[in-house]
Amino acid sequence: MTKSCDQRVAIVTGGGQGLGAAHVRRLAAAGASVVVNDLGVALDGGLDPERPAVQLVEEIRAAGGQAVLSGHDVSKWDEAGELVQLAVESFGRLDVLVNNAGVLRDRSLVKMSEAEFDAVIAVHLKGTAATMHHAGAYWRDRAEHEKLDARIINTTSVAGLFGNVGQMNYAAAKAGIVGATLVAALELGKYGVTANCISPGAATRMTASIPGRDANAMAEDDSFSPRWPAAVVEWLASGLSRGVTGRVFMTSGRRLGIAEGWSHGPSSQPVEAAEDLDATLRMLLAQARPNSDMRGAAW
């Protein structure tokens, strides 16, 4: 029986544990050869003595799959290029890029430090941009002599789509990832590359670190299992999703849906005088759909 990702080569950043590990296992079970990219660090940046990515690569190989380990730092432009090159050198090609790596430095807007802002933007947003840049250049060159069916699968969040208190840096990075993904979809489509996002809901060490979350209850709740987002990643990585691009898929064990992005709402002829402008904008606001919060309620 042919598997959905047979003969495909995938990179998964932040693939050592949590969502990334679920993606790796799902893609490997679907027949893909996987580059497991992970720095081997905890959320605070310190080294993780358990080295979960090493164990995961060994697990995949023991099950008969193909996997290699990458310790490249995707927030560094050149190392992101070396990661893409590792996939090509190890397996002869690259077909799928899954950007999952991330860190948290949650803080209220007025208390956040520059270092806390920079750390989150570097890993989430710059890391996604850097890997897309190098993978996109590789696919552009390959498209000159073969027909491609390649994939970019990026990770956004409800915080980036709808906002969340205490996560300005994270929300900005995740919103930026959606914008970058849309540009990639527009620019790389002519080379046979699609670009989409997932907005996953799952219990991981990252969500466990968020104040107010009951980490144990979430971990025991199957609706927060990483297997649900991983299933969508497999579909997006496979030929089944051919032609689907520029979309954001909201996925958890509680809900599967499509996030609707910015669209042109109510409008009018331009108005300049202050009183007329106030009346016109109030009218348009009354006609426009309200913003949604992370749970879909208006705010």
Q: What does the block give as tokens for 26?
A: 């799902």
Residue in 174, 199, 238, 241 annotated catalytic? 174
Active site residue 157: yes
Q: What does the block give as tokens for 161?
A: 């789509």
What DSSP string runs through the chain? ---TTTT-EEEEETTTSHHHHHHHHHHHHTT-EEEEE---B-TTS-B-TT-HHHHHHHHHHHTT--EEEE---TTSHHHHHHHHHHHHHHHS---EEEE-------B-TTT--HHHHHHHIIIIIIHHHHHHHHHHHHHHHHTTTS---EEEEEE--HHHHH--TTBHHHHHHHHHHHHHHHHHHHHHGGGTEEEEEEEE----HHHHTSTT--HHHHHH-GGG-THHHHHHHHHHHSGGGTT--S-EEEESSS-EEE----------S---SHHHHHHHHHHHHHHSPPPB-TTS-B-
Active site residue 76: no
Residue in 33, 75, 138, 170 annotated catalytic? 170
How far is Cα 60 from Cα 277, in angstroms, rounded to an integer? 62
Specify which residues 155 forms β-bridges with: 198
How far is Cα 11 from Cα 135, in angstroms, rounded to an integer? 10
How far is Cα 32 from Cα 11, in angstroms, rounded to an integer? 10
Q: Using an 8 Å Cβ cutoff, are 20 and 12 in contact?
A: yes
Active site residue 3: no
How far is Cα 118 from Cα 126, in angstroms, rounded to an integer? 10
Residue in 33, 70, 157, 241 annotated catalytic? 157
Catalytic residue set = 157, 170, 174
